[in-house]
């Protein structure tokens, strides 16, 4: 269960009050007009935005003070989901190890993930050599190998056509 208990999140003059809990395994859509604070909410859960009051917890574990990379969260942003100087494979590999150095089995996991998103054989391409939709799928492959409990998607798929 993901819980936000009487959280206050400040973004400049804008303040967001969140008091919500979501079941594990559920898919939750956050809908609202632009400027409503959808991204601010996701950023606070992922740890990019300071919570001025309250707590975020996952399955009883308090996340409030954890660094973004230490949370059980994988996140896809609106843009900038890939490093332009790394190949698709290297980008996906970062989901397993930040250093990018993989063992044989981990390497196989990455290849399998790329295959699953329909990018088999394109692992050596850099983002600039892929279409917008293919780039989004590389990021998706990375999320797959990350195996995090929570997946936050901040409008990540403007380019993604039906696979």
Task: Please identify, among the stretches 10-18, 19-27, 95-103, 116-124, the one whose residues bind another protein according to the rule CB under 8 A.
Answer: 95-103
Shortest reach from residue 36's CB to another protein, in Å: 21
- For another protein, the closer CB: 33 or 139: 139
Q: 26, 27, 34, 99: which one contacts another protein (CB under 8 A)?
A: 99
Kindly give the pairing relationship between strand 51-58 and strand 14-22.
unpaired
Shortest reach from residue 162's CB to another protein, in Å: 26
- For another protein, the closer CB: 84 or 158: 84
Helix (H, G, I), strand (E, B) or coil at 128: helix
Q: Is residue 147 within 8 Å of residue 124, measured between CB atoms?
A: no
CA distance 85 to 128: 9
DSSP H helical ranges for the chain: 38-46, 88-93, 104-116, 132-146
Q: Is position 156 an interface residue for another protein (rule: CB under 8 A)? A: no
Q: Is residue 125 within 8 Å of residue 74, measured between CB atoms?
A: no
Q: 25, 60, 98, 163: which one contacts another protein (CB under 8 A)?
A: 98
Residues with Cβ within 8 Å of 42's Cβ and at least 6 positions away in sequence, in order, are 30, 75, 152, 154
CA angle 115, 156, 152 (to 5 degrees): 90
Residues 34-93 that bind another protein (CB under 8 A): 46-51, 64-70, 73-75, 77, 80-86
Shortest reach from residue 159's CB to another protein, in Å: 17
- For another protein, the closer CB: 49 or 137: 49
Binding-site ranges for another protein (CB under 8 A): 46-51, 64-70, 73-75, 77, 80-86, 94-95, 98-100, 126-128, 142
């Amino acid at each position: 269960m993901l819980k936000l208990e009487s959280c206050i999140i400040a973004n400049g003059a804008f303040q967001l009050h969140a008091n919500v809990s979501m079941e594990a395994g559920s898919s939750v859509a956050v809908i609202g007009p632009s400027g409503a604070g959808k991204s601010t909410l996701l950023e606070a859960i992922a740890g990019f935005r300071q919570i001025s009051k309250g707590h975020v917890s996952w399955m009883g574990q308090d996340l409030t003070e954890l660094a973004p990379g230490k949370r059980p969260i994988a996140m896809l942003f609106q843009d900038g989901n890939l490093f332009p100087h790394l190949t698709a494979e290297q980008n996906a590999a970062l989901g397993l190890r930040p250093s990018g150095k993989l063992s044989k089995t981990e390497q196989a996991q990455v290849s399998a993930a790329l295959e699953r998103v329909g990018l088999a054989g394109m692992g050596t391409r850099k983002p600039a050599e892929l279409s917008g939709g293919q780039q989004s799928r590389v990021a998706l492959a990375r999320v797959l190998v990350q195996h995090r409990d929570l997946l936050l998607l901040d409008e990540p798929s403007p380019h993604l056509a039906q696979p």
